Amino acid sequence: MGLDELIKACKRNDRRAQERIYKMYASKMYALCLKYSRSKEEAEDNLQDGFITVFEKIDQFGFKGSFEGWIKRIMINTALQKYRERNVLNLVREEDISGMVEVDEQATSLPLDYLLDKIQHLPNQYRLVFNLYVLDGYSHKEVARMLGISEGTSKSNLSRARNLLRKRIEEDMTGNQSIAFE
């Protein structure tokens, strides 16, 4: 059964087709949820809620664009929705936007789990902006619209996020020898 047939079967609420779709995308989407969330638990919640939405709204998928891209947008929206609903996006100070933030070349060998942990520990809004802009390629204009903030705030948040990440990574690299380098 091809992807299109699977999607059509999902539209008929075929449980086995839904499971196959889930299995196809679960790993990628769980990874995405992990990046946008503060904890494993929150990521799991978002993954569940996101897939429920996918199966509820699958009728609206018109086979025009990439199905994976469609699912990904739902997952990102699910993650953002929680913060929008609860209005907990931290207000952050507008700051000078420094240009490139660079880290020691050694950082390249840092394990992914470690970097994920650093992302998850960013303040909510920094984390969301960093993910949207850097990892998922949205423009500041789009980020601003998605988060209901100004473009300027998006830029300054990104800058703060980069600086925080660099600072924390470098602190760990100089002060703590226990980090496992690959």
* Alpha carbon distance 50, 121 (integer Å): 22
Binding status of residue 172 toward other proteins by CB under 8 A:
no
Select 52 or 179, whichever has its Cβ closest to other proteins: 52
Residue 34 near residue 120, CB atoms below 8 Å: yes
* Alpha carbon distance 42, 17 (integer Å): 26
Binding status of residue 9 toward other proteins by CB under 8 A:
no
Q: Near other proteins by CB under 8 A, which window of 47-55, 58-66, 68-76, 144-152? A: 47-55
Distances, alpha carbon 111 to alpha carbons 83, 107, 115, 180, in Å: 28, 9, 7, 7
Burial environment of residue 131 by CB neighbours within 10 A (0 to 12, 13 to 18, 19 or more): buried
State the minimum distance, in angstroms, from the CB of residue 64 to other proteins. 25
**Size of the residue set binding other proteins (CB under 8 A):** 53
Binding status of residue 8 toward other proteins by CB under 8 A:
no
Binding status of residue 100 toward other proteins by CB under 8 A:
yes
Q: What is the x/- site pattern for other proteins, positions 102-141, by CB under 8 A? A: xxxxxxx-x-x--xx--x-x--x-----x---xx------
Q: Near other proteins by CB under 8 A, which window of 49-57, 61-69, 140-148, 149-157? A: 49-57
State the minimum distance, in angstroms, from the CB of residue 154 to other proteins. 15
State the minimum distance, in angstroms, from the CB of residue 81 to other proteins. 10
Please give the residues from 51 up to 70 whose contact with other proteins meets the rule CB under 8 A: 51-52, 55
Burial environment of residue 54 by CB neighbours within 10 A (0 to 12, 13 to 18, 19 or more): buried
Locate 16 and state its tokens. 């086995």
* Alpha carbon distance 31, 43 (integer Å): 9
Q: Near other proteins by CB under 8 A, which window of 36-44, 57-65, 68-76, 144-152? A: 36-44
Q: What is the SS3 assignment for 108?
A: helix
